[in-house]
A and B are shown apart, each in its own frame.
Chain A
C-alpha cells in the first residue's frame, strides 16, 4: 500500500506543480497586461499622473514591479492550492492515466475501511493493486502519467510582458504627467495650459516686472499664481474649469489695474506728462535744454541725469564761462517760467468743464468749481466724480509743475551766482519743497556763506532729483498698469510670440532705464494695443509712425431711405416703422449704462463699449442733439 500511496502523492505533487505553472503564467499575463496598459496610459493619457502616481524613477518602478510580482506569486500559490485535487481524485486520475482500472483508488478506499479488512474480496482487490503498483510497466506508466507541460497558450504572458517593456521603451511621452513630490518635473509634466492660463501667466510676469505695481497687487497676484499652480499640480482639473478660473483671476487683476490706472496719482502723472509735452525747448544747446527736452518727453530719469549735470556745471569749478553761465541760467529761468505758466494753465480743465456743460471760468477757482460740480443737475454721479477726479489730478500735476518751476528758478539763480549766499532763498525754497531736509536747512543757516550757498544749491538739485524720481516711479506704474490692463483686455488673443516679444521689450526697457541710457525709444514696440506693454521699463512713450487718424466728414442730412430700425415695446405696428436717426442714436447712447447693468459686458469688450458709446454721446452732445426716448412707431413716415 505504501507504494500506491507514494505513487499517488507523487502524482499529486506533479499536478500541483502543473497547476502552479498554469497559475503563474496566468498571473504573469494579467500583471504584464496591467503593466502594458499602465505604460500606454502613462505615455499617451497621463491620467494616473494627475492622481499622483510617479511617471518615472527606477526605484518606484522597481518597487511597483516587485509588489506586482509578489501579488502575482501569492495569487498563483492560492490558485495552486485550490487547483490541487484531493488524494482520492488524484488516485482516480492516476488510475485513468495509468490504465489500472481503478485498482489504486479502490485499494486506497478499501484500506481506509475497517470492514474491508475482513473481506477476502477486499483483501484480494488490495493485493491486486499492490501487485500492479509493483509491476515495472505499470510503474513506468504511472510515472509518465503526469508530465509537466506548458499550457497551450503559455506564450501569452511572456509576449504581453515583452509588449509592455517595448511600450515603455519605445512609445514617446505625449504629455508628461506630473509627479507628486517632483516640482521641477511637474512644471513640465502638467497638462497643456489653456490660452487663458497662458495669458494670465504673461500678465503675472509682466506685473512682477514692475515692483511698485506688484506690491500694490500683492493679494491678486498671489491668488493668480495659486490658480496657475493648482491648475497644473493639484487634483485633476478639466481644461474648461481651468480656463474659467484663469478668466476670473484675470478679471480680478484687470479690475485692480483699472482702479490703479484711474487713481488720482496715475491721472496726475498723465496730466503732468501731457502738460510737460507743451514745453518749448531753449534755443541754447546746453544742459538746461537737455533737461527741458527730457521733461518734454516725459523721461524723468533722463531729466534727473540732466539735473545732475546741471549741478556739476553750476558749481564754481564747473568749467563754464560767465557767458555760458548766463545762458544756462537764462535757459533754466525760461523753462521755470514756462513751468510756472503751465502750472497755472486751466485750459484743459476749462475744456472739460465746458464739455460737461459748465462754466469754463470755474477752472480758475477750485472751490467754486467743486461746489458747482456738486450742484450741477445736468451731470450724473459718475460724470461728477470723473470731473472732480480730473480736477484733483490736474491740481496735483500743476502743483508738481510749480515745484519744478521753483526748483529750476533756484538752479538758475545758482548758475548765475555760484558763490553767492542764497541761504535765505534756498531756505525758503527748501521750505516749499515739502521735504524735511529742506526745512532743516531753513532752520540752520550756514555760517559760511559759500558753504551755505553750496548746500542750498545741493539741496535744490537734490529735491529736484527726488521729485523727478517720484514722478518717474508714478509714470512707470501708470504705464505698467495701462500695459497690463491692455493685456488683460486682450485676453488670450495675443499669441505667445507676441507676448514674449513684448516681455523682452519690457525687460530691455527696464535695463535701459536702469543704466540711464535713453536708448531708442519704442524700438521694441509692439503693435496696436500692445504698445504700452512693449514699452515697459523706463522707455519713453511716444508716437510711433503708425496709428489711428481721426477723419470726420460732414454727411448731409435730409430725406432718404431708412438706415436703421429697432424693435420697440408696445403695440405691434402695422406697416413700416420709421424713426429719425437722431432718436435711434440717442437711444443707443443713453441705453449703454442700462444695457451694461442688465447684461454685463465681457471684460475685454468693456473698454470698446465705453469708447464707442461715449463717442456717440459726445457726437450728439456736440451737435446739440438731446438723446430722446425711443419713439413710437410712426406709421406715416
Chain B
C-alpha cells in the first residue's frame, strides 16, 4: 500500500516536517505545516467520533510523542471506534486483539510452524501474530492473563518481538492503543506496574454528554457511516515525532517537571507533604520523559516553540495517573490517583530556590 498514492495531494507535497530546519523561518513554516496536518487529522477523527475532543487530543499527543496509550472507560464510549478511526485516518496498518483469559502469548506475537519448502523439506517458519502492525488495538487488555499481557512488554518498549530466539523488528511507527474496562472485576487481571509504565499516557474516557449522544445516534443509525480518508502516513508521523522533540524546554519548566515527579516519591527529599500518606509507589523517570515529550507535542499543537507550565499541567494527569499507586489510606479517603496527582500539582511551587540561576 503506497502512502503517497492515498494521501491528499497537498499533504504529499509538503516537505518533510523535520528536515532542513536551520533557521527560525523554516522552523515556523514546518511547525505551521504540521499544525495544519494535525488539524486535518483531528477533523477526520471528528467526522466519525462524536465529542471526546480531550481524549482525541491526548491520543494524538501520545501518537506524535511516540508513546502508547491506555484508554480506560466503560464499554460503549467509542474507545475502539477512536482507535479504528485513527488507523483509518493515518493510513497505517491496523490490528485488533481482543484480550480474553484464554489468550496465549503466541496469539499475540505469532508462532513458528512446521512447513514444507519447495524441496519437500520440513522447516520451522515464523508466522507473525497480530502485533506485527503499526496501530495495535489491545481491546480489554486487562482481561488477559499476566502471561499474555507480558507478551506486549518487549514490543512496546523495544519495538521488536523475539520468538524462537529470533528478534523481529516491528515497523515504525508502532503504536499500542489499549483499552480496559474499569468496572469489570470478574475475570480481569490488573496490569502490572512494569507494563503500565510502558504506556506514555493513560487516558480516561468520560461518559458522553447529551448533545454528543444525540449526534452519535444520528451518525451511527444512518445508512452510511462517514468515510475517513487518510491524512498522514507512517513516515509523516515519524517526521512529526522528530519535529516535536525539537520544541525547547526552558530550565525552570524542566525543573518543575523533575520536582513534580520527585514529589510523588514518599520519603524523598522533594516529596510532597502528603506523599507519605497518600502514595504507596511513586512515578518512575519514564514519567518525566512522558510529561516532557507529551508537553512538547501539546506546545507544538498550540503554535509555541517552548513548553509552558500549562502544557505540563495538561499532560501531567495522563502521564502520572497510571504510574502513581495511591496508598491504602488515600483509597480509604476516597482519593484515587487523579486526586493525588491533582493535589500535588496544586501544592507544588512553580519555582524552587535550588533551580534559580
Contact = CB atoms under 8 A, between A and B. Distances in A.
Contact of A101 (B21, B24, B304, B356): B304
B40 interface: no
Nearest to B251: A109
Contact of B28 (A88, A95, A116, A124): A124
A136 B38 CA distance: 31
A604 interface: no
Interface centre among B26, B28, B246, B251 (most CB of A within 10 A): B251
A121 B246 CA distance: 7
B27 interface: yes
A213 to B, nearest CB: 81
Contacts of A230: none
A91 B250 CA distance: 12
A128 B305 contact: yes
Interface in B229-250: 246-248, 250
A92 B304 CA distance: 17
B248 A125 contact: yes
Given A106-B248, A122-B248, A86 B353 contact: yes
A111 B308 CA distance: 16
Given A89-B356, A102-B306, A106-B253, A121 B248 contact: yes
B306 to A, nearest CB: 4
A124 B304 CA distance: 9
A124 B27 contact: yes
A120 interface: yes
Interface centre among B247, B252, B310 (most CB of A within 10 A): B252
A124 B250 contact: no
A86 B357 CA distance: 8
A223 B247 CA distance: 93
A113 B355 CA distance: 15
Contacts of B28: 124
Contacts of A121: 21, 27, 246-248, 305-306
A102 B305 CA distance: 11
A120 B252 contact: no
A101 B304 CA distance: 9
Contacts of A103: 304, 306, 308
Nearest to A86: B356
B122 to A, nearest CB: 57
Contact of A88 (B24, B246, B306, B357): B357
A102 B308 contact: yes
Given A124-B27, A128-B305, A101 B248 contact: no
Contacts of B247: 121
Interface in B74-108: none
B77 to A, nearest CB: 31
Contacts of A120: 21-24, 26-27
B277 interface: no
A102 B252 contact: yes
Contacts of A350: none
B308 A110 contact: no
A119 B247 CA distance: 10
Interface size grouping (class) on chain B = 20 to 34
Interface string B302-313: 001111111000
Contacts of B24: 120, 123-124, 127
A95 B310 CA distance: 11
A370 B23 CA distance: 138
Contacts of B350: 89, 92-93, 96
A96 B247 CA distance: 20
Nearest to A119: B248
Contacts of B351: 85-86, 88-89, 92-93
A110 B357 CA distance: 12
A103 B311 CA distance: 12
A125 B304 contact: yes
Contact of A102 (B27, B246, B309, B356): B309
Interface in A142-191: none
Contacts of B304: 101, 103, 125, 128
Contacts of A89: 350-351, 356
Contacts of B353: 86
A112 interface: yes
A87 to B, nearest CB: 8
A273 interface: no
Contacts of B21: 120-121
Interface string B247-287: 11011110000000000000000000000000000000000
Interface in B306-357: 306-310, 350-351, 353, 355-357
B250 A109 contact: yes
A271 interface: no
Interface in B19-59: 21-24, 26-28
Interface string A76-93: 000000000110110111
Nearest to B25: A120
A105 B246 CA distance: 18
A125 B305 contact: yes
A124 B22 CA distance: 12
Given A88-B357, A121-B246, A101 B310 contact: yes
Nearest to A96: B350
B292 to A, nearest CB: 14
Interface centre among A86, A92, A102, A127 (most CB of B within 10 A): A102
B252 to A, nearest CB: 5
A512 B247 CA distance: 115
A178 B350 CA distance: 57
Nearest to A99: B310
A120 B356 CA distance: 25
Interface string A34-57: 000000000000000000000000
Contacts of A124: 24, 27-28, 305
Given A86-B353, A92-B351, A125-B304, A109 B23 contact: no
A12 to B, nearest CB: 13
Nearest to B246: A121
A86 to B, nearest CB: 4
Contact of A116 (B248, B309, B356): B248
A166 B23 CA distance: 72
A112 B248 CA distance: 14
Contacts of B307: 102, 106
Contacts of B251: 109, 113
Contact of A112 (B26, B253, B357): B357
A105 B248 contact: no
Interface centre among A89, A119, A124, A128 (most CB of B within 10 A): A124
A122 B304 CA distance: 11
A96 B252 CA distance: 13
A210 B84 CA distance: 125
B306 A106 contact: yes
A124 B356 CA distance: 24
Interface string A449-476: 0000000000000000000000000000
A295 B150 CA distance: 137
A119 B355 CA distance: 23
Nearest to B353: A86
A86 B27 CA distance: 32
Interface in A186-216: none
11 contacts: A88-B356, A92-B252, A95-B308, A101-B304, A102-B253, A106-B252, A109-B252, A109-B357, A119-B246, A122-B305, A128-B305
Interface of B: 21-24, 26-28, 246-248, 250-253, 304-310, 350-351, 353, 355-357
Interface of A: 85-86, 88-89, 91-93, 95-96, 101-103, 105-106, 109-110, 112-113, 116, 119-125, 127-128
| Nearest 10 A/B pairs, CB to CB | A106-B250, A101-B308, A109-B250, A89-B351, A86-B356, A125-B306, A125-B305, A102-B308, A120-B27, A124-B305
Given A102-B253, A110-B306, 14 more contacts: A86-B351, A88-B351, A88-B355, A89-B351, A92-B309, A101-B304, A102-B307, A102-B308, A106-B248, A106-B306, A120-B26, A123-B24, A124-B24, A124-B28
